[in-house]
Amino acid sequence: MEKQSAGRSVSVVVFDSGIGGLNLLCACAARVPHAHYYYICDEKNVPYGNRPPEEITRLTLSALGGIEELNPAALVVACNTVTANCIDKLRRKFTFPVVGIQPAVKPAAALGGKCLVLATNATVKSAAFLNLVNRYAPADTTAVGCERLADYVEKNVLSLPDRLPEDLLPDIHADSVVLGCTHYTFVKRQIEARYNCPVFDGTEGTAAHFWEIVGTADHAGVKSGDFRPLAEKELKITYICQNTDRYTQIMKCLFSNYKLHP
């Protein structure tokens, strides 16, 4: 698809079961600030990570019902669980591009040593995730489904402690950690401290791929930290959820601390 001109606004739908996708929304908005973003979540059923694949698919299709009327330039699936379990169905259903997020196994594996992937049970058990690991890091990768971590972040995002409860994370030695759930990005600093090693997530790589699809020409050549295109209050974001004030507050915090990575 040809990139939109700098002066032309486009609509973009970003979907996650809850707050996790706001990290990816922030990264996408920093690259393509003049789009109208529709953030759709499923507050009634969040999180999806402990549900069976059939239910994940059903809930996702229900939450995204009618988005064709928004005429989006793209759908960004800001949920590893949904990407792993039903993104192929979404791509068959919709005529516009569907961008998914995956755990950043490849750059973590490049460091060598033992790689620990923290994800949801539904992601860890999926064929898509197993194929990803087998492709890039089949030997020294351990994947753990963190059954309660996403729900903990969802409920406590505005008051997260510096140290996470011990029972939320596995007691495993790792030389690198990959976050396989967008909720976990909110506690990336705590996870880095817990394992004392580099921690990777798929946010920036997915946002860069999104930019390739609907990016604007005025972003060419941007260097890390050099470009803040719009203040958060200038972004056009419609939250299709119940507690819009909460999502607005979280997004404001994210954007105030964000630095663009090329």
Phi, psi of 109 (to 5 degrees): -65, -30
Q: Coil, strand, or helix at residue 145?
A: strand
How confident is the model over 64-100, as pLDDT tens digits? 999 999 999 999 999 999 999 999 999 999 999 999 9
Helix (H) or strand (E) holding 124: helix 121-124
Torsion of CA 231, 234, 236, 238, to 10 degrees: 80
181: annotated active-site residue: yes
pTM (two decimals): 0.90
Torsion of CA 157, 159, 164, 165, to 10 degrees: -100
Q: Pick the catalytic residue: 28, 115, 181, 197? A: 181
How confident is the model over 148-196, as pLDDT tens digits? 999 999 999 999 999 999 999 999 999 999 999 999 999 999 999 999 9
User: Widest CA span of the chain, in angstroms?
Assistant: 51
- Give percent above pLDDT 70 in the chain: 89
Q: Pick the catalytic residue: 26, 79, 86, 241? A: 79
Whether the pLDDT of residue 2 is over 50: the answer is no
Walk me through the domains of the chain, giving residue ranges and CATH numbers: 11-100+203-256 (3.40.50.1860), 105-201 (3.40.50.1860)
How confident is the model over 103-126, as pLDDT tens digits? 999 999 999 999 999 999 999 999
Q: CA 245, 76, 45, 65 torsion: positive or negative?
A: positive
